[in-house]
Amino acid sequence: MTSPIWQLDEQGARLHLDRFSARLGFDHIERGLTDLRVEPFSLHVASMLGLGLPVSADTTGRGPLLGDGRGRDLVVACRQSVGWPVRVDVVWRTISPTEASDIVAGVDLIVSVETDLLDSRPELTIRSELTPIEVLRLVAPAAASFEPCRLESPSPIALKTGSPDCFAFRMPDVPFTYGEMSHPADSYGANLGPVSDGPQTVEVRHRLFAERLEKGVILRSRVRGVLVDRADDLRRVAACYAAFATADPPLGS
């Protein structure tokens, strides 16, 4: 396995994994990974696996704390605030093609929340922005069956809890498809729709932690993003979802 390298600086970190590279800015973790490339291609992905905190989190001027850059993991801890007293620890964990044969590259976003209060509401979202030529949603995992998502309406499409939270985004001008999915044990539904930056840009948001959080309890959720070859892409994305859905939960992240 080729070791992934997180190159850290004062503003953020850059990932180099085989042919795949990306950047994360510590002051803009809501955007997640940006400047994505699979050599020699630049990907039409504005942002991938960003952390969407509620407005009440009020992190302005405080920013995240860099925890560590351990091999395949980039770890960031976010300060809690008076308006949203929830500690959030985030791990961007890389996946190489040698670990999952159907992918070109992949990243798991593992989010943990805890609080010092007797009771709190820790709900947040994981978001990505893309400029795809086609978006499809997984409807039957066992049959690798997808259906197209119609995005002509300015209103986002809401996917209910219980439906597979897994999408395939076919990207223009490159021979790749981007798949994004939340673990079925962690998902509380997703929204998919256009954003104001332009008619070609769509945003997907996965809802996590839509339950009460008590003091002394740590909750953990996972969202996975994968790049696969366009050839046989839907089978590949469905296979990634099946492997992700049956994977052991991350411990000690």
Query: Mind listing the pLDDT tens digit for each residue in 207-228?
Result: 887 677 677 778 788 999 999 9
Categorize the per-residue pLDDT at 6 as very low, low, confident or very high, splitting at 50, 70 and 90: confident
pLDDT for residue 123 is more than 90: no
d(CA 12, CA 66): 9
Report the mean per-residue pLDDT for the chain. 82
d(CA 58, CA 83): 7
Q: What pLDDT, on the 0 to 100 scale, is given for residue 237?
A: 96
Query: Mind listing the pLDDT tens digit for each residue in 158-174?
Result: 666 567 889 999 999 99
pLDDT for residue 150 is more than 60: yes
Q: What pLDDT, on the 0 to 100 scale, is given for residue 230?
A: 94
Higher pLDDT: 248 or 160? It is 248
CB atoms inside a 10 Å sphere around CB 87: 15
Q: Is 35 helix (H, G, I), strand (E, B) or coil?
A: strand
Q: What is the CA radius of gyration of the chain?
A: 17
Query: Mind listing the pLDDT tens digit for each residue in 17-61?
Result: 888 999 998 888 889 999 999 999 988 777 899 998 776 555 444
Question: Do you find a cis peptide bond into 249, omega within 30 degrees of 0?
Answer: no
d(CA 146, CA 127): 21
Contact 204, 180 (CB under 8 A): yes
Query: Mind listing the pLDDT tens digit for each residue in 127-140?
Result: 999 999 999 999 99
Domains of the chain with CATH codes: 5-245 (2.70.98.10)
Query: Mind listing the pLDDT tens digit for each residue in 98-113?
Result: 777 789 999 999 998 8
Residues 87-106 have a mean pLDDT of: 86
d(CA 106, CA 178): 9
